[in-house]
Structure formats: C-alpha cells, structure tokens
Amino acid sequence: MSEGIQTAIMGVTGYAGAELARLLLRHPRLGGRPPVFAGRLNEKAGEEDAAHGGILLREIHPQLADNNGAGDLRLEPFSWELLAERGVQVLFLATPHEQSRAWAPEALERGLRVIDLSGAWRLNEPSNRAVYGFPDEGSEQAAATQAQAVYGMPELHRDRIAGARLVANPGCFSTSVILALKPLAAAGLLDMSHGIVADAKSGVSGAGKAPTARTHFMYAADNLSAYGVFSHRHTGELLEQIGIGASEIVFTPHLLPIPRGILSTIYVHFKRAQTRAAIAQVYRDFYAASPMVRIHAKMLPQIQHVLHTNYADIGFELDASGMRAVIVSCLDNLLKGAAGQAVQNMNVALGWGEAEGLQ
C-alpha cells in the first residue's frame, strides 16, 4: 500500500496508547499524517474542551508535545462517522477486552484494518477464552470475527499477518515466553516429560493505568509479589502458540516494583545433551529474518538493555550435562509487549519494512 496511510487510535489515554501515539506520530511511512485520536470523553472533558472538539493531547500526555504541533492534536468524541470523514484505514484498539469485542466486528464491516492490543481475539480455543468470560462467546458474529483474526507475532506468523484484516496483538508476558520457547519446541528438543517452568516478572505498567490496590505505591514499592498462579489470562496464548498442553507448563507472573519491563526466566529439559553452540544456532536460524529479536549467546539479558526499545532479548545457560537449560527473555512490556509490536504488525500487514519506525 502507498505511504500516507491514515491511522486512528482508540484508547490513547492509557500507557500503551501513549507509546502507540508516540510511534505513529514519528513513523516515516505515514507521510506526516498524525493519527486520529478518538474515544469516549465522558468526565475527562470539561465544557471548554467539548466546545473545541475534544481534549488536547498535551493535557493527556505532556511528553508527546513537540515543536511540530503534536500537543495541539485532540482526543475527539468517538463516532464511526468521524473515522470515515478522516479517511481512516488502520484502526488501533488500545481498549479493554470488552470494548474491542464490540468495536472490532463493526470496524471490519466498515472496511477498516484493525490491530487490537487487547486480549479480545488472541485465542482460538474456547476453553482458553473462557478465562475472559466474554458474554458474546459462541455467537455467530464472534465466531466470524475470530475466524479473521491472526495472532500478531510477526516472528511466528509473518506470512499470515501480511494482508490480514484483523491482527490480535499478543500479551506482553506471552510474547516474552513464546519467543524464548518456540524455536526449541519447533526443533523438537524439549523433553516435555519434565515440563517447563516459566517464572516471569513485569513492571507495574503491565497492570494498566487504572489504579488498583495491588498497583498502589504502598503495595508495589519495595515489594515482589506473585499473582495469577494457574489462572493468568496469557496462559492460553502459551499453550496455543508453543503447541503444548496445560499440564506441561507452570507459568507464574510476578509484579516488580519498577515502571516497565519484563524478565522471564524459563527452565527446560532436553531430550538429549546439547551444546551452547547448537542451541545458539537453533535460535539464530529461527529468528534469521526477525529484526526485533536479539540472541545473546555469551550473556544473559537484563531489563535495562531493552527499555524503551522494541527488541526482545534472549539468552541462555546450559548445565554441565547439556540436558538442562535456563533461558532468560527480556522486553519492554509497553513496546515489544504492546505498542511497538502493534506497529510492527502494521508494517508487516501493509508490506513495509518490519522494523520501520521502531529502531
């Protein structure tokens, strides 16, 4: 498709929405056309804001104001007519799961390409979707929409994302774990009789912008806590994308007292003894065409190395027998785990360079 595509963001007020706005405002392929920011203003807008058509972007995210007028853009009241008037072609939904379930089907009917950052359309198996409790589960419309959805991990589904109408952006935890495990699983190296343990830790922004007791400063600061044990919503993504059963992995997320970043430590057994060189080659071969994955064969990744980037860093250590490995996978949960991956999916879907606007 030609340059100058018009994009729109629903949900710009959140953390991922802010990062998405920043990336799209500077994307070299968008011809200087800023996204349309639309949403439900409700109590966010006073009478003066409403009179001027919405809330100034700089009042929502002051860090996005620049000398080119980005701060003067507005979050406008959402309507399908607004998107049509502005010629929107690609719609990003940085919205809650329930809202994406409602808006994605209509957006598709109106001919829009949708990249959804929520968990609304990520899962193919009803048993895995059950954790969300979607009220429209089993309906004809939901089934038809799900059939169009492509899991938005370019490293795994690049060919299907190209030209897709609905891309379901992966979860942040699941991105870090899947990228670490998929090459080994695809090569048939994992001894699943021992199972897999994935111990993942995320900064507080991974819980979203709406405050909760668990994300309150007095709870999160100087603390480390596990949550969602055997029940986290990203577990189904691991099962479907790695191709394993629920009894073959224990995935435990933790809340770190830092703003952003994910570090997943994953413990695996091999069917036969491996060498460092052989495992490194498996990863390099699998990700040879993936510009956003960095393989570290001589060191273990750290969160500080991926912050504010769209890279996923993967490293590993083998035990003396070569039969066991500890894999460490790091990424920025707001970028490779959310907004950056969404832009990466847009690039692939539109036939652009996968890393454009992300390096």
Bridge partner list, 58: none
N-terminal to C-terminal alpha carbon distance within the chain: 21
Segments of the chain assigned E as strands: 7-10, 36-39, 55-56, 74-77, 90-93, 113-116, 149-151, 166-168, 196-202, 225-226, 249-255, 262-269, 293-296, 312-318, 324-331
Active-site option among 88, 90, 172, 180: 172
Contact 159, 137 (CB under 8 A): no
Counting Cβ atoms within 10 Å, is residue 168 exposed (0-12), middle (13-18) or buried (19+)?
buried
3-state secondary structure of 190: strand
Give the distance from CA 82 to its chain's centroid.
Answer: 27
Tell me the CA distances in angstroms from 225 to 206, 265, 290, 327, one per residue in order.
14, 15, 33, 21
Rounded Cα distance, 351 and 345, in Å: 10
3-state secondary structure of 113: strand
* SS percent in the chain: helix, strand, coil, step 5: 35, 20, 45
Tell me whether residue 172 is one of the annotated catalytic residues.
yes
Helical (H) or strand (E) element with 20: helix 15-25
Contact 352, 2 (CB under 8 A): no
Tell me the CA distances in angstroms from 36 to 20, 65, 88, 106, 109, one per residue in order.
12, 15, 8, 18, 19
Q: Mind telling me the catalytic residues?
A: 172
